[in-house]
Amino acid sequence: MTAQNSQHVNKDTSRAQEEEMEPNGGDEVAGSASVAGADRSEARQDWEARIGRRIAESGPESPVGEGAGLADESAGASLVLDAPKGLAATAGVGQITLSWEPVDGASAYLIYRSKAPDGDFKVLDHGGSDVAAVPLTRYADTGILPGAGYSYRVAAVVVPDSVAGQMSETVEITALEWKEASPDLVEESPSVEITVQADTVVARLERLWWMMGSERLAQLHFGDNGHGNIIGKEFADAIVRARSELGVSHIRSHGIFHDELGSFHRTAEGVSDYDFSGIDSVLDTFVATGVKPIIELSFMPADLAQDPTATVFDWKGIISPPADWDAWGELNERFVSHLVERFGLAEVRTWAFEVWNEANLEVFWTGTKEEYFRLYKEAAKAVKRVDGQLRVGGPATAASEWLEAFVDYVVRNDLPLDFISSHTYGNLPIHLRSLLRRYGLSDVAVWWTEWGVGSTHFGPIHDTPFGAAFVLRGLKASQEQLDALAYWVVSDHFEELGRPPRLFHNGFGLLSVGNLAKPRYWAAKLAAEFPDEVVSLTLEGDGAGSLVDGWAARSETGGLDVLVWNATPNADHFRGVPELQRKIDLLISGLAPGTYRVDVARIDEENSNICRHLPADVEWPSEQQWAALRSADQLSEQRLPDQVVTADGAESVRLTAELTMPGVLRWRLVPQ
């Protein structure tokens, strides 16, 4: 982890501090959880005390500055990348757009900013993202003051916890006074012009959201939550809804070896006893939903743990290394063999096995980095002893850490690796293709098995429309770079730090308790409905391609979807920034002659935002309020006047709309 972002970690302390300062998530967030410190569970207090700590082997921290970072000598991370060239800055209303040329071998880039006249460069952290480095070469800095002077530099990194590369040249710029660019922002927002060529296919959509995350599968057998919601049924229904509406085919979850499922025991005589009936019970229920599991091989059974008292979460997942490494390998081999026997080899080959969860964080692993690598080695070899075509991978680290060290270890020890996995919150996933190529692993898949807009349980960002634009921005940025981008998680039936204290509590779920769709869910649904043939889309104007971005795709029947979103990378602005509103001018050419029905869908504070339909002081709805919420549980759409394209193509389609920040628009054109 680079020193400059060492304070920002998965489910980080900065967000926990924000939550303590604003126990109701701020007045603007309807239904946020009230979570005074005295009411926190013992597990939650322990979590918040330890979540920011890396295990000792993650290395010493160094001062922030040019070239600062952590080099892991064991990982061959001595490669120092060239300085990015062509750094340019353009001032707009409420933002400064930076752009630069890509650097060969880089997974991401660190942006350094100094506000005149102090000259003290600091790395942008995007409002507390767990990874400071950004993968794209275009960025909108919205944390600026009107009329202030700023200086920027950029450096490339091999991976976020490697040494930063050479620094770019410095670019200096003065931020606009807002009314210098637009005399009256209320009546006239700055514009972004979008041009779509519907007859020019540029790519095929990669549906990276085929995997999502969930709470442990044991919830499938849980009953009433105390407020009339049957946990198991609603949890299963959420998975089914994600399958049918979003196209989710696989779900990853924690804790398959948790003692509540009883997989491993040692007799008084020291004999290992295996019982997979509890796992069978939840997997049978899960498989009946039509979705397949990504099985995270965690946490440690008590009878196998070096320290069975070391736990995480309210449900006490044991985070200790095994006391007997041979027994850990045998447990994994027997378990996978049992799955093959019960479900069939062809079926289990469509599943996958990920070794542990975020072992780089003290809260998830009491061992060392080297012990995690051994944990991976023993488990991965055990899986492959059952069948060489079963998929296994890792390291499932927080904040994109340990990736080069892990790849280096895998290659040096000739270990199986079907996918490399990591996690990121509040940022875009970094790009790992160049790292894998350098180690001769071009065929290894890249899976982000956790990803989300916010990093903290009950953090105030989760239920807001900011997440909708975040989702679409990430899905587009990850095309051709990732093979899976798994949003964490599907359902608010989620008990890591206790059951939901109220309906809208800013939980991680795309769906609430009761399976109401939050703004992030609607964004994922717009992506799921997006046609496969992506067509040419270009943007010009204030914040084009950095603040405002878009996607267009045509259907087999000649229709067209155009998605546009307005999203600052800075999570500090999740409640919205008026000066970042933009007028979208859309020009569509290349449509076949005919008449087109036009509908526009919106996701913003006023539209497709279920939380605004429940008073902020209501913890759990009455029957009447539930009925009103279910009636409001729909995407906000409006039919616009039909558009006619003449036979000679002279009449192009022109559409305009105001787009708030945060906000999402989807224009859909359907031939009549």
Active site positions, annotated: 358, 450
Give me the residue label for tokens 């061959």.
Answer: 76
Give me the residue label for tokens 């890509």.
Answer: 102
CA 232 to the chain's CA centroid = 25
The pair of three-digit structure tokens given for residue 511, joined into one six-digit string: 């769906």
CA distance 285 to 664: 36
CA 502 to the chain's CA centroid = 24
CA distance 178 to 182: 7
Contact 377, 416 (CB under 8 A): no
CA distance 292 to 295: 9
3-state secondary structure of 130: coil
Q: What share of the chain is helix, strand, coil (3-state, %, to 5)?
A: 25, 25, 45
- Beta strand 149-157 with 108-115 is antiparallel
Contacts of 600 (CB under 8 A, 6+ apart): 637, 638, 640, 655, 657, 665, 666, 667, 668
For 127, what's the count of Cα atoms within 13 Å in the CB-facing half-sphere? 23
The CA–CA distances, whole Å, from 487 to 54, 255, 287, 568 equal 23, 18, 20, 19
Contact 153, 168 (CB under 8 A): yes
CA distance 253 to 448: 13
Give me the residue label for tokens 């004999």.
Answer: 271
Helix (H) or strand (E) holding 630: helix 623-632
